[in-house]
Amino acid sequence: MSEQLDVSVVLIIFNRPKETARAFAAIREARPRQLFVIADGPRNEADRSLCEAARAVVEKGVDWPCVVHRNYAEKNLGCGYRPATGITWVFEQVEQAIILEDDCIAHPSFFPFAQELLEKYAHDERVMHIVGNCFQENNSNFNIRESYYASFIPMINGWATWRRAWKFYDFDIKEWPALRESRVLIDSFHNHGAYDLFEMKWDSYYKKHVKDSWDGQWALACMSRGGISLTASVNLISNIGFNERATHTKSKTEQAEMRIHAMHFPLTHPKELMINREADNYVYRYHFGVDKQFRQRLMRPFKNHFPNIYKNIKRLLEK
């Protein structure tokens, strides 16, 4: 029997019992001493039995010594507000945690990887986020030897953080108007196209045009403070939630059900934490679609430095 995991694990579930069972199986193998379960409530009567079935996966599946903490919503709070309030509830009780949603399948080595980094960087306030999802497998220029690299992008498919970092989280992102006006984040991105995309998203969250997001607000909390995201150099998480039952990812993309690999131990730590801009730019382009087309890359300098010329060229191309 494997040793128990000392760090607390959080599982966020809703109405997908099949996906929940697969995500929970990896957690069961890790055998955490504490498990926090955050569950949203049904949207309608048709949802009720599915929500109950998803919760039953955990209730019946914990067969190791474990303290289970439950935060089950009776009514539907939505896939923005429910995770946000649930994670805040977790950090009212523990200093650090590993967090998985019901569609994220973790390789067994993800848990000791996250636990070691949570301990190593517990008091390093530059580091705000740890993630097991790595999108560099097809990047021929990515050849780092360390077990992880420093990123500016806090991806959330299998991640971990501390209470000291989550305290900056604000679902309503009240600080955004002042940050937008100051333009201080543009240089932090080192990528104008990526900043434009995130600026648009944060505008939507602040104005409540989009209400079903929580992770974009977490990205602002991290990015606005120059927070470092420690990103595994091999992919440790597979997202199986790309289907018709998903809220955001109804169709499969190249990020769906990515292969997972083992992290090798002992971990090889970077000698210093410097944001890997090339790796981040690869994620911006091939995960977020920033300037993915050659025409977009060709037009980017005009858009950034000569907006009036850019508008005229764009108008001509659209005729």
Strands 8-13 and 34-39: parallel
With respect to residue 299, please indicate whether it lies within any of the assigned structural domains: no
Range with the lowest mean pLDDT among 48-57, 135-144, 220-229, 247-256? 247-256
225 or 250, higher pLDDT: 225
Q: Is the pLDDT of residue 37 over 70?
A: yes
With respect to residue 295, please indicate whether it lies within any of the assigned structural domains: no
With respect to residue 53, please indicate whether it lies within any of the assigned structural domains: yes
42 close to 76: Cβ distance less than 8 angstroms: yes
Region 67-79: what's the mean pLDDT? 97
Range with the lowest mean pLDDT among 62-66, 73-77, 137-141, 304-308? 304-308
With respect to residue 307, please indicate whether it lies within any of the assigned structural domains: no
Percentage of the chain exceeding pLDDT 70 = 85
Average model confidence (pLDDT) across the chain: 90
Question: Residues 6 or more apart from 291 whose CB is under 8 A from it?
Answer: 193, 284, 285, 297, 300
Amino acid, single-letter form, for residue 217 = Q
Instruction: Report the pLDDT value the prediction gives residue 295, as an integer from 0 to 100.
Output: 52
Instruction: Report the pLDDT value the prediction gives residue 187, as an integer from 0 to 100.
Output: 92
Region 281-302: what's the mean pLDDT? 72
CA geometry: angle 137, 143, 149, nearest 5 deg: 85
Helix/strand/coil for 129: strand
With respect to residue 301, please indicate whether it lies within any of the assigned structural domains: no
The pTM assigned to this predicted structure is 0.89
Can you tell me the distance from the alpha carbon of 219 to that of 152, in angstroms, rounded to the nearest whole number?
A: 9
23 or 250, higher pLDDT: 23
Can you tell me the distance from the alpha carbon of 193 to that of 284, in angstroms, rounded to the nearest whole number?
A: 9
* CATH assignment at residue 200: 3.90.550.10
Can you tell me the distance from the alpha carbon of 216 to that of 39, in angstroms, rounded to the nearest whole number?
A: 20
Q: Is the pLDDT of residue 243 over 60?
A: no
With respect to residue 46, please indicate whether it lies within any of the assigned structural domains: yes
How many angstroms from the chain centroid is the CA of residue 161? 11
Instruction: Report the pLDDT value the prediction gives residue 2, as an integer from 0 to 100.
Output: 61
Give the helix/strand (H/E) hosting 182.
helix 176-182
Domain extent at residue 150? 8-288
Domain count, the chain: 1
How many Å is the Cα radius of gyration of the chain? 20
